[in-house]
């Protein structure tokens, strides 16, 4: 078996494989292309401290305790994941990039990587989204004389000192970027496609279940998963309240075109800018699975639980409804149960 990705989802899957008797290196391998432990967290900007993380669920079997909320989440979670891999002896191989997965011989999958090939009876794909930042296209984008960057490249607020910055995107990243950058920048503008929806009160389990059910329904229909914020809304915390009161979170509708100096709307309004920061989210990083032809006409991969409907050997953990730290944990357990069933059927049939 091959587990691709050693983020929350991949580690949760590997933990449950181990717990149910599978041995690392003998029965399964975990491959990750990143240089260090921590999944996508290792790449997040230094000002995203652990205290600013919304609700990081611990991995199964080992709590994350005594972490300093003022430290960068990349460090806190990187160290936690490294300790976890060691404690459960998961032997993650890195950096190993999976380039493609295709049909092999004897009903097996052939996993081609930067470090050789593996032949697998089952695959847990846990590659997250960080590797596929989504950049929308707008007319004139290539003519802009300033700098354009995506959340995936966000360096923290200091480099924006004295600049006029447009932040695009109505999710948690967009609002966090604005609140951080505003005290440094010469000016900020927020544009979003839809008016943002702010959510009062705590995000309890019931709200969480309802959000997951909405994403699940889309994935069951073979549609691309939607972002979590699109179904949960933005939590109205103190920082957001302050941003609304200060005007930092006054939102404009999406502009119609980009010019060399800034952006323009069809009604004649224009704003000059030095930077456009695209906080427009990410897409599932699943291109390496293309030869298996899992995609539906709707553009998504249809999954039942975590199993790809088009190929029961492939499980997608951290995809769609399980794309949160708590979802990834649960999905890791369910996936291993499913894979055990699949392998038992194969053995009976053999
Ligand atoms: C800015 C930001 C903040 C977030 N905050 C929260 C939060 O507070 N709470 C929460 O629950 N969720 C949060 N999320 C969502 C969060 O990222 C997920 O819940 C979770 O961390 C994703 O885990 P994962 O294992 O699916 O993906 P990742 O952590 O992205 O792990 C995927 C792993 O797969 C590897 N990989 C990818 N492609 C390949 C390949 N082809 N070959 C080999 N390896 C590969 C990568 O190197 C990576 O290590 C946040 C997301 C973002 C972008």
The residue whose CA is least distant from atom 47 of ligand 1 is 34
Contacts of residue 114, Cβ cutoff 8 Å, sequence gap at least 6 = 33, 95, 96, 97, 99
pLDDT of residue 320: 81
Q: Does residue 39 have its Cβ closer than 6 Å to ligand 1?
A: yes
Q: Does residue 281 have its Cβ closer than 6 Å to ligand 1?
A: no
Nearest ligand 1 atom to the CA of 130 is: 30
Residues 251, 190: contact at Cβ < 8 Å? yes
The residue whose CA is least distant from atom 18 of ligand 1 is 324
What's the CA-to-centroid distance between 113 and ligand 1, angstroms?
20
What's the CA-to-centroid distance between 325 and ligand 1, angstroms?
9
The closest alpha carbon to 1, from 37, 27, 24, 38, belongs to 27
Nearest ligand 1 atom to the CA of 11 is: 25
Q: Does residue 171 have its Cβ closer than 6 Å to ligand 1?
A: no
Q: Is the pLDDT of residue 236 over 90?
A: no
Q: What is the pTM of this model?
A: 0.92
The residue whose CA is least distant from atom 5 of ligand 1 is 53
Q: How large is the average pLDDT for residues 273-279?
A: 98
Reported as a pLDDT band with limits 50, 70 and 90, residue 191 is very high
What's the CA-to-centroid distance between 75 and ligand 1, angstroms?
15
Q: Does residue 10 have its Cβ closer than 6 Å to ligand 1?
A: yes
Q: Does residue 98 have its Cβ closer than 6 Å to ligand 1?
A: yes
Mutate to test the pocket of ligand 1, among 7, 90, 102, 180 (most ligand atoms within 8 A of CB): 7
How do residues 220-231 score in pLDDT, each as one tens digit?
777 777 766 666
Residues 227, 171: contact at Cβ < 8 Å? yes
Within 10 angstroms of residue 208's Cβ, the number of other Cβ atoms is: 16
* Beta bridge partners of residue 295, listed in sequence order: 301
Q: How large is the average pLDDT for residues 54-74?
A: 89
pLDDT of residue 345: 80
Q: Taken in order 71, 73, 75, 81, is the CA torsion positive or negative?
A: positive
What's the CA-to-centroid distance between 225 and ligand 1, angstroms?
15
Alpha-carbon span 145 to 10, nearest angstrom: 41
What's the CA-to-centroid distance between 284 and ligand 1, angstroms?
10
How do residues 78-113 score in pLDDT, each as one tens digit?
999 999 999 999 999 999 999 999 999 999 999 999
The percent of residues above 90 in pLDDT, for the chain, comes to: 73
Contacts of residue 241, Cβ cutoff 8 Å, sequence gap at least 6 = none
What's the CA-to-centroid distance between 328 and ligand 1, angstroms?
10
What's the CA-to-centroid distance between 245 and ligand 1, angstroms?
33
Alpha-carbon span 322 to 333, nearest angstrom: 12
Nearest ligand 1 atom to the CA of 34 is: 47
Exposure letters 91-107 (e unless 16+ CB within 10 A, then b): ebebebbbeebeebeee
pLDDT of residue 214: 74
Q: Does residue 78 have its Cβ closer than 6 Å to ligand 1?
A: no
How do residues 117-168 score in pLDDT, each as one tens digit?
999 999 999 999 999 999 999 999 999 999 999 999 999 999 999 999 999 9
Q: Does residue 55 have its Cβ closer than 6 Å to ligand 1?
A: yes
How do residues 12-61 score in pLDDT, each as one tens digit?
999 999 999 999 999 999 999 999 999 999 999 988 999 888 677 899 99
Q: Is the pLDDT of residue 265 over 70?
A: yes
């Amino acid at each position: 078996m091959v587990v691709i990705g050693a983020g929350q989802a991949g580690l949760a899957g590997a933990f449950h494989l181990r717990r149910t008797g599978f041995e690392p290196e003998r029965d399964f391998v975990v491959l990750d292309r990143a240089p260090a432990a921590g999944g996508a967290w290792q790449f997040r900007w230094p000002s995203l401290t652990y205290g600013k993380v919304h609700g990081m669920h611990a991995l199964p079997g080992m709590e994350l305790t005594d972490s300093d909320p003022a430290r960068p989440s990349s460090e806190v979670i990187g160290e936690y994941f490294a300790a976890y891999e060691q404690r459960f002896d998961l032997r993650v191989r890195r950096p190993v990039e999976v380039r493609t997965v295709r049909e092999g011989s004897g009903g097996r999958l052939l996993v081609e990587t930067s470090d050789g090939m593996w032949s697998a009876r089952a695959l847990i794909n846990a590659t997250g989204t960080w590797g596929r930042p989504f950049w929308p296209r707008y007319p004139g984008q290539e003519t802009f004389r300033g700098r354009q960057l995506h959340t995936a490249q966000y360096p923290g607020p200091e480099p924006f000192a004295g600049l006029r910055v447009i932040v695009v995107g109505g999710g948690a990243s967009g609002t966090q970027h604005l609140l951080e950058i505003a005290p440094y920048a010469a000016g900020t503008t927020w544009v979003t496609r839809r008016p943002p929806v702010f959510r009062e009160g705590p995000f309890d389990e019931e709200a969480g279940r309802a959000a997951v059910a909405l994403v699940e329904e889309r994935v069951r229909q073979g549609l691309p998963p939607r972002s979590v914020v699109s179904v949960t809304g933005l939590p109205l915390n103190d920082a957001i309240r302050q941003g609304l009161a200060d005007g930092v979170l006054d939102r404009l509708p999406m502009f119609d075109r980009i010019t060399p100096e800034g952006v323009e709307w069809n009604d004649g309004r224009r704003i000059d800018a030095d930077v456009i920061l695209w906080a427009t989210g990410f897409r599932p990083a699943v291109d390496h699975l293309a030869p298996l032809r899992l995609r539906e006409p709707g553009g998504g991969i249809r999954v039942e639980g975590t199993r790809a409907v088009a190929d029961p050997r492939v499980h997608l953990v951290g995809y769609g409804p399980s794309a949160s730290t708590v979802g990834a944990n649960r999905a890791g357990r369910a996936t291993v149960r499913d894979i055990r069933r699949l392998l038992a059927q194969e053995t009976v049939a053999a």
